[in-house]
Structure 1
Amino acid sequence: MIRPFGIDEILFIVAAVQWTLALSAIAFAGGAIGGLVVALARVSQVRALRYLALGYVRLFQGTPLLMQLFLVYFGLNIFGAGINPWLAASLALTLHASAFLGEIWRGCIEAVPSGQSEASWALGLGYVDRMKSIVLPQAAKIAVAPTVGFLVQLIKGTSLASIIGFVELTRAGQIINNATFVPFKVFGLVAILYFVLCWPLSLLARWMERRFAVATRR
């Protein structure tokens, strides 16, 4: 039975924003930890670590996120892991974010002038002290803008979790549309909510990028 699109349906969709934000936060936090490991491995002096990290990045950057969600959810269930959509989406998006953040941060580490590293060697600093005290703090300033930009893409990427049954913003829209059959209103509202979530972050990323560009010219 078709029901009208009213305030209850709107509130159901709006309430799903919390799950989109929660999934984004988990994936970003896990991806930040994994991304730092990948970035450090990519610039490591150990060749095996560099190749291993490069293979990881190529794998996740070279395959669709949708396929990664399918493999994690259906693959682990086939092997009897009994994983639920929430955990599968979190794990897949974390692995995905680790690869992209790792490559972003690798570029930022390599963007630090080589003279900084040479000076640290002259001072007798070891690898850990050099990265912790000299290279990473400077790379972090460069990384802020592209990292925020990637967060925008990650928030939008959570919409693919609907395909494995995780009820986030897009899936909530699908559920309401199946009950009301007013796709323009339903997905128009979904699009507006994504815009409200992502547009301020996009502006923040652009502002940070301009600010860093000005700071480097001084």
Structure 2
Amino acid sequence: MREFSEADIAYLLLATRWTVLLALVAMIGGGLLGIVVAVLRVVQFRPANWLAIGYINLIQGTPLLGQLFVFFFGLPLFGLSVDAWTAAALSLSIYASAFFGEIWRGSLQSVSPRQWEAGASLGLTYAQRLFYVVLPQAVRISVAPTVGFLVQLVKNTSLTALIGFVELTRASQIISGATFAPLPVYLTAAAIYFVICFSLSQLSHMLERRLHAAH
């Protein structure tokens, strides 16, 4: 048993890099898949719409913790052994993709139908109207909810501690067990989470101002 010290704070800061990296990987993986989901939701092809709706309902209708357990404990039952990092990255990316897909679908559909009609009157194809006319307007609308979800994603990385992935929350548990000083340990961790999430919120405000100024 020892006291909570500066060395422990340094350990928490080192563990924070894995929280940030995991959130970044989930953002990229979930974003790429989320684009596909959003397009499938708005494309004029019923089976694609149904497929995207079923995927979104499945992912949003099940807890992230359950998805983590499926990847970490379930896949080995089929002979696919995965480590904690792989299970965390896959589950968070899939989880994020369903929410990104819905956020971006809503942003796409919030653009006035007249914009589609104007593009069609110019002889643009569906893909050209989507990428050159509608998407630039939808991006401005989607900034705030997208960054808002990223804040939630950062905090949700804490669930990966339950499968043994050593990020900020798991590091806090380890130090708390060694020092028997949970209050200063978790207050420090909470402060680190606050700095990350507050920075994302400020980035959102900056992007919104810049995009609307460009508009």
TM over 0.5: yes
SS in 1 for 2:86: helix
SS in 2 for 1:16: helix
**How many Å separate the matches in 2 of 1:205 and 1:140?**
12
Match of 1:69 in 2: 68
1:83 corresponds to 2:82: yes
Match of 1:119 in 2: 118
Match of 1:42 in 2: 41
Identity across the alignment (%): 52
Offset of 1:123 from its aligned partner?
1.7
Counting matched residue pairs gives 215
SS in 2 for 1:52: helix
Q: 1:121 to 1:38 in 2, by over 3 A?
A: same
Match of 2:200 in 1: 201
Unaligned runs of 5+ in 2: none
1:33 corresponds to 2:32: yes
After the TM superposition, which segments of 4 or more aligned residues of structure 1 sit over 4 Å from their partners?
Answer: 206-216
**How many Å separate the matches in 2 of 1:79 and 1:170?**
30
- For residues 6-51 of structure 1, what are the alpha-carbon distances to aligned partners after superposition, in whole Å with 9 as ceiling and x for unaligned? 1221111111110001000000001110110000000011101101
Match of 2:173 in 1: 174
Check whether the contact 2:23–2:154 (CA below 8 A) recurs between aligned residues: yes
- For residues 91-136 of structure 1, what are the alpha-carbon distances to aligned partners after superposition, in whole Å with 9 as ceiling and x for unaligned? 0000000000000000000011110101111222111111111111
Q: What RMSD over aligned residues (CA atoms) do the two structures have, in Å? A: 1.7
Check whether the contact 2:140–2:208 (CA below 8 A) recurs between aligned residues: no
SS in 2 for 1:166: coil
**How many Å separate the matches in 2 of 1:153 and 1:212?**
23
- For residues 72-101 of structure 1, what are the alpha-carbon distances to aligned partners after superposition, in whole Å with 9 as ceiling and x for unaligned? 111112212110000000000000000000
**How many Å separate the matches in 2 of 1:72 and 1:114?**
41
Unaligned runs of 5+ in 1: none
**How many Å separate the matches in 2 of 1:128 and 1:187?**
49
- For residues 163-215 of structure 1, what are the alpha-carbon distances to aligned partners after superposition, in whole Å with 9 as ceiling and x for unaligned? 11100000000011111110001111110100011012223435655787899
Q: Which amino acid aligns with 1:60?
A: I
**How many Å separate the matches in 1 of 2:146 and 2:53?**
19
Greater displacement, 56-65 / 25-34? 56-65
TM-score (norm. length: structure 2): 0.94
Q: Which amino acid aligns with 1:165?
A: G
1:149 corresponds to 2:151: no
Match of 2:182 in 1: 183
Match of 1:95 in 2: 94
TM-score (norm. length: structure 1): 0.93
Match of 2:108 in 1: 109
